[in-house]
Amino acid sequence: MKLSHIIGIIVIAVAIGIVVTSYGDSSSYVTFGKALAMAKDGDEDMVHVVGKLKKDASGKAEGLFYQPQLDPNHFEFTLVDNENHVQKCVYNSPKPQDFDRSEQIVVIGAMQGDHFQTNKILLKCPSKYQDGKLEVTEHEAKTAQL
Amino acid sequence: MKDFTVGNAGHLFVILSFVTALVATFSYLKMTLAHEAAEENHWKRLARGAFYVHGVAVVSVVACLFSIIYNHRFEYQYAWSHSSLALPVQYMISCFWEGQEGSFLLWMFWNAVLGIILTRTAGSKWEGPMLTVFALVQAFLTSMILGVVLGDVKIGSSPFLLLKESMPDAPVFTMNPNFVPSDGKGLNPLLQNYWMVIHPPTLFLGFALSLVPFAYCIAGLWRNQPLNWIRPAQPWMLVGAVVLGVGIMMGGYWAYETLNFGGYWNWDPVENAVYVPWLIMVAAMHTMLTAKRSSAGLKTAIILTVAQFIFILYSTFLSRSGILGNASVHSFTDLGLSGQLLVYLLAFVVIAVALMAVKWKLIPSDEQELSIYNKELWLFLGAIVLCLAGFQVISTTSIPVYNKVAELFGKASNLAMPTNQVAHYNKFQIWFFSVVAVLSGVGQYIWWRKAGKGNFNTLMTPLVLTLLISAAIIGFGEVKNPVYMVFLTASVFAMMANGAILLGVIQGNYRLSGGAVAHMGMALMLIGILFSSGYSKITSINNSGLMISKSEEFTKNDNKENKENVLLWLNQSERMDGYQLTYRGQRVEVRDMPGYVPRKAVEVIEGDFRGVAQEDLSANGKLYHKKGDTIALYPENVYYEVEYREPSGKIFSLYPRAQVNERMGTLASPDIRHKAGRDLYTFVSSVPDPNAETIWDKTETYSIAIRDTFFLNDYVAILDNVVKTNEVEGIDMKPSDVGVKAQVRVLYKDREVMMQPAFVIRDGAIASPADISDDLGVRLQLKTIDPKTGKFTFAANQTQRDYIVMKASEKPLINLLWIGTLVMVVGFIMAIVRRYRENGKMEGKAQKEDRKKTAISYQ
């Protein structure tokens, strides 16, 4: 067998490996119901859930709890997903600035017992800068490691 | 009536540059296709003329747009949305390219400059086909800022739109059609940083430079000379790779200083989109070296030279079309140009692929099969691994594109980016770069014939050295992760092998050692990346046990790794990883003063960037401003002074920043203490809203006698004494006035705080200014004095004490990354000089031969 053929075969094999692993690593957008079902099946993969803050009659966000005096690394909030499933979420990091203002929230994490353990939050806040446009900001619970 | 000359002129120049680009494309095409010299010359004159006019037009567009920004012409949408009166000149330059239109202009400008250089230097053989490509690219780019509407189709977005044209329905214009805003929205304060003045031009110069080898390659294929383009294109490819690489690193350094994700690289899709073309460029550059002697090398060089430019276009498409949407935090805002961008991308894909397919048979095939003793093979392998690394990054980065494509075919796809992107990319890249590091060492040995058939033994010396040094680093540096061990050993090997070559080659001719130097730079960068990211240590781990919470979340012991933030109360020390930390209060930055001043020392004028000094402001013993002066500030930035006391007793302060950013909300930026071996990185992760008014709780009154004890905000307070005073802050005391001061001692944690509210009687009227202690969050007022009972009545209010929640980490050996970058740049420059001279010499030779031939034919 020629050397170039061997190289070719190895390259193709690695490329296939990359595609398969990337697909395996990729996450998906689901609802809290699906996330719960996944956790029950023992699937610990993290998922993306799109939701909104639960608001009371006066438009104030409900179910937010952050008291840095007690624990600066504990933030609880309540989200409502597209299927109107209300879910308590816990984020082991300080409350992101402008959290209350956000129009839409994407949480990345997995169900853990009674709450959704959030690892990363993407906030979409109405932009004062461009009407009708949303600005996205990203918050991560833990410092990324190599 | 306003004068709209400059905008109209600008728009006219845009149209002119578009038309001249088309004319130049057509006439360069005719020139290339011409059969006779006279015809060729005729078209050449026209084509050059058109391209030069195009160049002048592009420069004029730039000048018009800059004049609009510089002169604060807020009736124009571009100036209004990207600039403001508060902006210093250097940032007016950055706001030029904050918008998509301006950054397209920057790209066009560099393309025009390079095109004009090439008309002068490339020689007429290359000028025709290459400049056809250049002019066509320019036509596409100019169309992006054309701003013409044909029926339902909008072509390009003009930077010269008036505000009222861009938002005709805004109520303010129906009320007053001549309305001109008095100030602009300003440059995003996050981008008000010197790196953002030079990072975009460097990056776009890199983009523009990627076009040069691509144009050479197309020209070579077009003229049926699939090999000859390599030599002149080589120095350009090197310049492109180094400029784009430096541009990327500048962006990384900006992110390290300004954003708070804790590093210089976050594998954000926008970052990836430029990283991939850079990898392909470097791979192409290596295969070009083998093209003369290996057909496989030549074929790969052609494919990769085309690919690096196509990937630049793809990256432009990703970051500007809005397709990344949710996935990236810093792509451009969508201007509705996605269709146009897609046409631009596909046009060049089709042209390049069709040309390659037609001309492929011209490439000669190899007489000899590759063997592991060929230097070509090792370069080829290196290039392949770099391409695989690029393939991995782009295949994940394109996830939003897959969803879009699935949608086009009527299927719903809910694929999302990996939840831990950093880990996802790193786990691949660490292996690819281990292999690249090894190949860079072995390849150099074989390239310089220091190793080859039967004598791989020469590699023993660097190998032994590598093992010794890596073992030492692994031992002393406590590297425990086996993957890191492999990566470290490979990097050290690259360092050693290339170092040995450098020493060997220098004896002969240092001009040839560019490759070895660049490889050593890469090895240093890899080691710097490994330690600064892999061994970044969170120093603000919250293990004080002071935070009392009964929730299971907190009591569970295995949750410690989540406690990466600490809370600091104002002026109350905490221990952290050997340091004694104290938060000293909020600070602001005065534009013409070094350092920072306390926030209370300046009162910001509402809606302005200036403020009034409330006290004399001096720094380093020099008085800068007197009380009452109006001074320029950056009012959106609040700095939080954090004092670090080292175990040795040495004290330094860091000033992490919170920015109230109108466009993006409140943003934190770190402050970094640079030390030789490691950086100390600190940022505030949560603070009370810096612009919130202080809210005082309801008043409580205490009626007490001297030596009595009472409770203030849960702290024990003692009224020590009430004494006469002639000085009361905020009151101009006259001789007839009577003033007293209470001395209230508050036992606060491990120290005492004195509060001294005053009481002044002037002509029977009473004034009782309050004393505020920020440390306690208490306002205390001496309300009445009853001489009969000897009781003093105090009014006290409480408020939220000032605090910050902060996070700190250490980045060991990060300086190796920056040093490695510089070394790599030096290596690149050495290689560029060498290849440029070589090309010059060969051209000289070719010209001499041409002349000889002509002379012979005349005889």
Do B667 and B656 contact (CB within 8 A), yes or no? no
A5 in B contact zone (CB under 8 Å): no
In sign, the C-alpha dihedral spanning B378, B383, B386, B391 is: negative
- Chain B residues 75-104 with CB within 8 Å of chain A: 81
Q: What is the pLDDT of residue B1?
A: 43
Q: What is the pLDDT of residue B733?
A: 79
Do A54 and A79 contact (CB within 8 A), yes or no? yes
B598: DSSP letter: E
**Tens-place pLDDT, residues B193-209:** 888 899 999 999 999 99
Check pLDDT > 60 for residue B663.
yes
Report DSSP letters for B649-662, one per residue: S-EEEE--EEEEET
SS3 label, residue B283: helix
Per DSSP, what are the bridge partners of residue B576? B579
Report DSSP letters for B390-420, one per residue: HHHHHHHHTHHHHHHHHHHTT----EE--SS
Check pLDDT > 70 for residue A134.
no
Q: Residue B17: pLDDT band by 50, 70, 90 thresholds?
A: very high
Instruction: Quickly tell me which residue has 């960068």 as its tokens.
Output: B525
Q: Residue B367: pLDDT band by 50, 70, 90 thresholds?
A: low
CA–CA min distance B591, chain A (Å): 25
Q: What is the mean pLDDT of residues B835-846?
A: 83
> How far from the centroid of its chain's Cα atoms is residue B406's Cα?
33
| CA nearest to A100 within chain B | B665
Q: What is the pLDDT of residue A55?
A: 83
Q: How many other C-beta atoms can be found within 10 angstroms of the C-beta atom of residue B663?
A: 18
For domain A28-140, give the CATH number.
Answer: 2.40.50.140
Distance from C-alpha of B629 to C-alpha of A1, rounded to nearest angstrom: 84
CB atoms A145 and B423 under 8 Å: yes
Q: Residue B64: pLDDT band by 50, 70, 90 thresholds?
A: very high
Task: Provide the mean pLDDT of chain B.
Answer: 88
CA–CA min distance A57, chain B (Å): 25
CB atoms A94 and B553 under 8 Å: no
CB atoms B185 and A138 under 8 Å: no
**Tens-place pLDDT, residues B497-556:** 999 988 887 676 778 889 999 999 999 999 999 999 888 888 887 655 444 344 444 444
Q: Residue B854: pLDDT band by 50, 70, 90 thresholds?
A: low
Distance from C-alpha of B219 to C-alpha of B352, rounded to nearest angstrom: 11
Residue B192 CA: distances (Å) to CA of B74, B197, B591, B635: 19, 8, 13, 13
| CA nearest to B550 within chain A | A70
Compare B4 and B602 and report the one with higher pLDDT: B602
Instruction: Quickly tell me which residue has 């609880």 as its tokens.
Output: A76
CB atoms A92 and B553 under 8 Å: yes
CB atoms B563 and A97 under 8 Å: no
**Tens-place pLDDT, residues B597-619:** 999 899 888 878 899 998 889 88
Q: Residue B661: pLDDT band by 50, 70, 90 thresholds?
A: confident
Q: What is the pLDDT of residue B682?
A: 93
How big is the A-B interface in CB pairs under 8 Å?
A: 172
Do A1 and B375 contact (CB within 8 A), yes or no? no
Q: Which of A9, A95, A143 to mutate to test the interface with B (most CBs of B within 10 A)?
A: A143
| CA nearest to A48 within chain B | B416
CA–CA min distance B736, chain A (Å): 48
The token pair at B738 is 């009577």
Q: Which of B564, B636, B681 to mutate to test the interface with A (most CBs of A within 10 A)?
A: B564
CB atoms A93 and B333 under 8 Å: no
CB atoms A146 and B422 under 8 Å: yes
Q: Which of B529, B530, B554, B562 to mutate to test the interface with A (most CBs of A within 10 A)?
A: B562
Q: What is the pLDDT of residue B451?
A: 63
Strand pairing of B537-538 and B803-812? antiparallel
Distance from C-alpha of B510 to C-alpha of B242, rounded to nearest angstrom: 20
Q: What is the pLDDT of residue A131?
A: 41
Per DSSP, what are the bridge partners of residue A138? A122
| CA nearest to B808 within chain A | A143
| CA nearest to A46 within chain B | B419
B373 in A contact zone (CB under 8 Å): no
Distance from C-alpha of B97 to C-alpha of B117, rounded to nearest angstrom: 24
Distance from C-alpha of B441 to C-alpha of B378, rounded to nearest angstrom: 10
Check pLDDT > 60 for residue A136.
no
Collect contacts of B843-847 with beta carbons under 8 A, ≥24 apart.
B843/B123, B843/B232
Q: What is the pLDDT of residue B172?
A: 77
Provide φ and ψ at B619, rounded to 5°.
-140, 140
Residue B788 CA: distances (Å) to CA of B492, B705, B722, B792: 86, 11, 15, 11
- Enumerate the residues of chain A whose CB falls inside 8 A of the CB of residue B551: 71, 74
| CA nearest to A96 within chain B | B686
**Tens-place pLDDT, residues A84-109:** 899 999 998 888 877 877 778 889 89
Q: What is the mean pLDDT of residues B276-287?
A: 96
Q: Residue B801: pLDDT band by 50, 70, 90 thresholds?
A: confident
Residue B201 CA: distances (Å) to CA of B98, B140, B146: 11, 20, 22
Q: What is the pLDDT of residue B731?
A: 76
B537 in A contact zone (CB under 8 Å): no
CB atoms B562 and A93 under 8 Å: yes
**Tens-place pLDDT, residues B756-795:** 998 888 887 888 888 888 888 889 998 888 888 888 999 9
CA–CA min distance B809, chain A (Å): 9
Q: How many other C-beta atoms can be found within 10 angstroms of the C-beta atom of residue B670?
A: 25
Provide φ and ψ at B292, rounded to 5°.
-65, -35
Q: What is the pLDDT of residue A146?
A: 44
CB atoms B416 and A26 under 8 Å: yes
Q: How many other C-beta atoms can be found within 10 angstroms of the C-beta atom of residue B121?
A: 11
**Tens-place pLDDT, residues B549-586:** 444 444 444 444 457 888 888 998 888 888 999 999 99
Residue in A48, A120, A130 closest to B333 by CB: A130
Question: Which positions ≥6 away from B830 have C-beta within 8 Å?
Answer: B510, B511, B513, B514, B517, B518
Distance from C-alpha of B694 to C-alpha of A122, rounded to nearest angstrom: 30
| Distance between first and last Cα of chain A | 39
B559 in A contact zone (CB under 8 Å): yes
CA–CA min distance B488, chain A (Å): 13
| CA nearest to B170 within chain A | A131
Provide φ and ψ at B723, rounded to 5°.
-125, 160
Q: What is the mean pLDDT of residues B10-21?
A: 96
Domain ranges of chain A: 28-140
Q: What is the pLDDT of residue B548?
A: 34
Residue in A26, A133, A141 closest to B417 by CB: A26
Instruction: Report the complex ipTM.
Output: 0.82
Lowest mean pLDDT among B24-33, B158-167, B460-469: B158-167
**Tens-place pLDDT, residues B674-722:** 998 899 999 998 888 887 888 888 888 888 888 889 888 778 899 998 8
Q: Which of B244, B50, B190, B219 is nearest to B128 (CA)?
A: B219
| CA nearest to A30 within chain B | B414
Report DSSP letters for B63-128, one per residue: HHHHHHHHTT-TTBHHHHHH--TT--HHHHHHHHTTSHHHHHHHHHHHHHHHHHHHHHHS-HHHHH
**Tens-place pLDDT, residues A24-48:** 888 888 899 888 888 888 887 888 8
Residue in B328, B666, B809 closest to A143 by CB: B809
Distance from C-alpha of B20 to C-alpha of B54, rounded to nearest angstrom: 5
A95 in B contact zone (CB under 8 Å): yes
A108 in B contact zone (CB under 8 Å): yes
| CA nearest to B262 within chain A | A143
Q: What is the pLDDT of residue A132?
A: 40
Distance from C-alpha of B753 to C-alpha of B748, rounded to nearest angstrom: 7
Q: What is the pLDDT of residue B329?
A: 55
Q: What is the pLDDT of residue A133?
A: 45
Report DSSP letters for A72-125, one per residue: TT-EEEEEEETT--EEEEEESSPPPTTTTT-SEEEEEEEEETTEEEEEEEEEEE
The answer for B379, left when phi > 0, alpha when psi is -120 to 50, beta otherwise, is alpha
B565 in A contact zone (CB under 8 Å): yes
Distance from C-alpha of B396 to C-alpha of B324, rounded to nearest angstrom: 12
Q: What is the pLDDT of residue B855?
A: 60
Q: How many other C-beta atoms can be found within 10 angstroms of the C-beta atom of residue B662?
A: 14
b or e along A88-104 (b: 16 or more beta carbons within 10 Å of the residue's beta carbon)? ebbbbbbbbbbbeebeb
The answer for B813, left when phi > 0, alpha when psi is -120 to 50, beta otherwise, is left
Check pLDDT > 80 for residue B666.
no
A55 in B contact zone (CB under 8 Å): no
In sign, the C-alpha dihedral spanning B631, B634, B638, B639 is: negative
Q: Which of B684, B691, B551, B329 is nearest to A96 (CA)?
A: B684
Q: What is the mean pLDDT of residues B442-469?
A: 82
A13 in B contact zone (CB under 8 Å): no
- Chain A residues 120-139 with CB within 8 Å of chain B: 120, 122-123, 125, 127-130, 133, 135-138
Question: Which positions ≥6 away from B545 have C-beta within 8 Å?
Answer: none
- Enumerate the residues of chain A whose CB falls inside 8 A of the CB of residue B370: 2-4
Q: What is the pLDDT of residue B549?
A: 43
Provide φ and ψ at A130, rounded to 5°.
-125, 120
In sign, the C-alpha dihedral spanning B483, B485, B488, B493 is: negative
| Distance between first and last Cα of chain B | 74
CA–CA min distance A117, chain B (Å): 11
Instruction: Quickly tell me which residue has 């306002």 as its tokens.
Output: B779
3-state per-residue secondary structure call for B114-174 = HHHHHHHHCCHHHHHHHHHHHHHHHHHHHHHCCCEEECCEEECCCCCCEHHHHCCCCHHHH
Report DSSP letters for B491-522, one per residue: HHHHHHHHHHHHHHHHHH-GGGGHHHHHHHHH
